[in-house]
Amino acid sequence: MTNLKFVQFGIILLFAILTQSCMTIKQGEVGVKRKLGTFEDKGYTEGLKIFNPLTTRIIKISTQTENLEVGLNIPSKEGLNIVSEVSILYNIDPRNAPELLRNIGTEYESNVILPVFRSAVSDVSAQYYAKDMHTGERSSIENSIKERMMTYLEEKGITVEAVLLKSIQLPKSLSRAIEDKLEAEQQAERMQFVLTQSERQAEQKRIEAKGIRDAQIIISEGLNDKVLQFKSLEAFDKLSNSPNAKVIISDGDMPIILSDK
């Protein structure tokens, strides 16, 4: 009975040792061996890895895109503080994972990424006005912060994919001023549209009046004595062929017709 218990204990111990000496590294991860406190220079990709748990550990870190969200006050060029939530999208280069763990450790987000980000965002945002963060300048601010971060983090094996400014909250007084300005600009655009339409209508009327005046001038210039006399003769000719009884009064030039009714 004692031998059976000893065998069972041995099996359990062996199973525990085997469990502790195996580790599965998944896709999107890299594992780095630390033997007797020293990290190896090579990282391990996905698969089952066996090691001596008494002298060795495997530290796993993600190489997928990570989203680090930060809430902070961003200073503007005019000295205002803008409350914002920021997403930092980054990934770890698996080739640099051993060096990253050796020099910085597993707390690289709080020890490196966040301090570098806070310094970069302060330097960049101080060059822009608060209103710029609500316009197309936002993308310029984001790209500038990303570039500043990469100048330091790239050599550490950390790639910053994007910096995204979210939920920008301007001071209430500034928000109201921006809204008033936008409303005034919209009203000015509406007034300009009305004025343009009025000018077009006035120009159209001027063109029509000019056309009527030119037509009248042409007609008046064409109605000389000879033309009028010719028209009078045409009228007399038509009256002479008319079967209706009429009274015609004429001075010899222009006929005046009086109906018999």
The domain spans of the chain are 17-61, 66-172, 222-259
Q: What is the dihedral of CA 90, 91, 93, 98, to 10 degrees?
A: 100
- Strand partners of residue 197: none
pTM higher than 0.85, yes or no?
A: no
Q: Supply the Cα-derived Rg of the chain in whole angstroms.
A: 46
Query: Average pLDDT per run of 10 along the chain, which is 261 residues long?
Result: 59 56 77 81 74 74 90 80 87 89 88 92 85 79 92 90 83 59 70 78 79 68 60 64 60 54 48
pLDDT for 117 equals 93
User: Please, what is the Cα angle at 65 between 60 and 67, to 5 degrees?
Assistant: 105
Q: Are strands 66-75 and 81-92 parallel, antiparallel or unpaired?
A: antiparallel
Give CATH for domain 66-172: 3.30.479.30
